[in-house]
């Protein structure tokens, strides 16, 4: 049986509780928290976002930076699939919270896949409301959308969404039920949206009316939330609790 992979980018932040509030306003809900603090997993209708205290990061990530990461139910099986696809530097090792897989992506950055574990020692499950069913997590990596990164995502188990082009392609995990990864062409040598070459832009997709979402964000204090209409479609722009631009796009309608 193939490993089930869930898109779960990690946002490193000095503003853990305000970022949780921001994500809850979008419709995400907390799933697991570290008993000692510093880690919160926020689940959406498709995919998750993990919030990590930037001060305790061993990745050297700045506050407000988001890194691409995943969760899988069988990292050993996933490792075999990646090795068969000739993915570089595939390693599986044990951590206190379970098995972890690391590998090198086509841009020579290390990507982590955490194994799903039933052992929650040091963590607690949060009994929360059901997340907004159609809010999907979409971390965006800036690279050639038609280059090798797509093949690497396919080795992980994601599949391309119909309608992509040489400017932007989305890859779905579990048909979108486990989130998406977007590949966006590099339009500048100095991308203002991300903090480092290894970072991704944290975006979302939803079929909730964007005007309603914007009104909810404004009421919650995110007062610059606004819907804009571009040639490629409509999207909501808002500054999150880390002072970074967040975008929410209309959910894709193409076959996956």
Burial degree of 237 (CB within 10 A; 0-12, 13-18, 19+):
middle
Angle, helices 16-26/210-219, rounded to nearest 10 degrees = 150
Asked if the model's pLDDT at residue 124 lies above 90, the reply is: no
Asked if the model's pLDDT at residue 256 lies above 70, the reply is: no
Confidence of residue 8 (pLDDT cuts 50, 70, 90): very high
pLDDT for position 255:
40
Asked if the model's pLDDT at residue 154 lies above 70, the reply is: yes
Most confident region among 52-66, 189-203, 226-240 by mean pLDDT = 226-240
Q: State what percent of residues in the chain have pLDDT above 90.
A: 71
Asked if the model's pLDDT at residue 192 lies above 80, the reply is: no
Which pLDDT tens digit goes with each residue over 218-238?
999 999 999 998 877 899 999
Asked if the model's pLDDT at residue 123 lies above 60, the reply is: yes
Among left, alpha and beta (phi > 0; psi -120 to 50; other), residue 49 is beta
Angle, helices 148-156/75-84, rounded to nearest 10 degrees = 140
Number of H helices, E strands in the chain: 4, 19
Which pLDDT tens digit goes with each residue over 166-179?
999 999 999 999 99
pLDDT for position 61:
82
Query: Which string of b and e fits 159-187 if b means at least 16 CB within 10 Å?
Result: bbbeebeeeebbbbbbebebbbbbbbeee
pLDDT for position 90:
96
Mean pLDDT of all residues belonging to the chain: 89
**Domain spanning 136-250 has what CATH number?**
3.10.180.10
User: What is the fold, at CATH topology level, of the domain defined by 5-125?
Assistant: 2,3-Dihydroxybiphenyl 1,2-Dioxygenase; domain 1 (3.10.180)
Q: Can 5-125 and 136-250 be said to share one CATH topology?
A: yes
- Closest to 172 (Cα-Cα) out of 254, 68, 86: 254
Asked if the model's pLDDT at residue 194 lies above 60, the reply is: no
CB atoms within 10 A of CB 223: 11
Burial degree of 73 (CB within 10 A; 0-12, 13-18, 19+):
middle
- Closest to 149 (Cα-Cα) out of 193, 103, 190: 103
Asked if the model's pLDDT at residue 217 lies above 80, the reply is: yes
In angstroms, rounded to a whole number, what is the distance separating the alpha carbons of residues 27 and 41? 13
- Closest to 26 (Cα-Cα) out of 124, 169, 138: 138
pLDDT for position 241:
96
Q: What is the mean pLDDT of residues 32-43?
A: 89
Confidence of residue 120 (pLDDT cuts 50, 70, 90): low
Q: Say how many CA atoms lie within 13 Å of 131 toward its Cβ.
A: 25
pLDDT for position 121:
63
In angstroms, rounded to a whole number, what is the distance separating the alpha carbons of residues 244 and 212? 21
For the chain, give every domain's residue range: 5-125, 136-250
In angstroms, rounded to a whole number, what is the distance separating the alpha carbons of residues 88 and 104? 5
Which pLDDT tens digit goes with each residue over 64-74?
999 999 999 99
pLDDT for position 117:
74
Beta pairing class for 180-184 and 199-206: unpaired
- Closest to 12 (Cα-Cα) out of 247, 241, 248: 241
pTM over 0.75: yes
């Amino acid at each position: 049986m193939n490993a089930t992979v869930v898109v779960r980018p990690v946002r490193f932040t000095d503003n853990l509780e305000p970022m949780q509030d921001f994500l809850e306003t979008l419709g995400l809900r907390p799933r697991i928290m570290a008993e000692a603090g510093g880690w919160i997993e926020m689940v959406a209708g498709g995919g998750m976002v993990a919030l990590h205290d930037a001060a305790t990061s061993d990745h050297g990530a700045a506050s407000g930076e988001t890194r691409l990461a995943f969760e899988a139910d069988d990292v050993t099986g996933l490792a075999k699939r990646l090795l068969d696809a000739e993915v570089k530097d595939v390693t599986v090792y044990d951590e206190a919270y379970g098995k972890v897989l690391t590998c090198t992506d086509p841009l020579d950055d290390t990507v982590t896949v955490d194994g799903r574990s039933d052992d929650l020692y040091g963590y607690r499950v949060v009994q929360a409301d059901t997340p907004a069913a159609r809010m999907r997590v979409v971390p965006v990596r800036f690279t050639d959308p038609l280059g090798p990164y797509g093949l690497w995502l396919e080795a992980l188990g994601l599949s391309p969404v119909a309608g992509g082009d040489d400017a932007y392609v989305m890859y779905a995990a579990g048909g979108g039920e486990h989130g998406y990864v977007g590949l966006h062409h590099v339009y500048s040598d100095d991308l203002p949206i991300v903090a480092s070459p290894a970072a991704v832009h944290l975006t979302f997709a939803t079929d909730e009316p964007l005007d309603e979402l914007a009104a909810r964000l404004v009421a919650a204090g995110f007062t610059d939330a606004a819907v804009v209409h571009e040639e490629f479609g409509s999207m909501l722009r808002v500054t999150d609790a880390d002072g970074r631009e967040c975008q929410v796009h209309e959910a894709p309608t193409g076959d996956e």
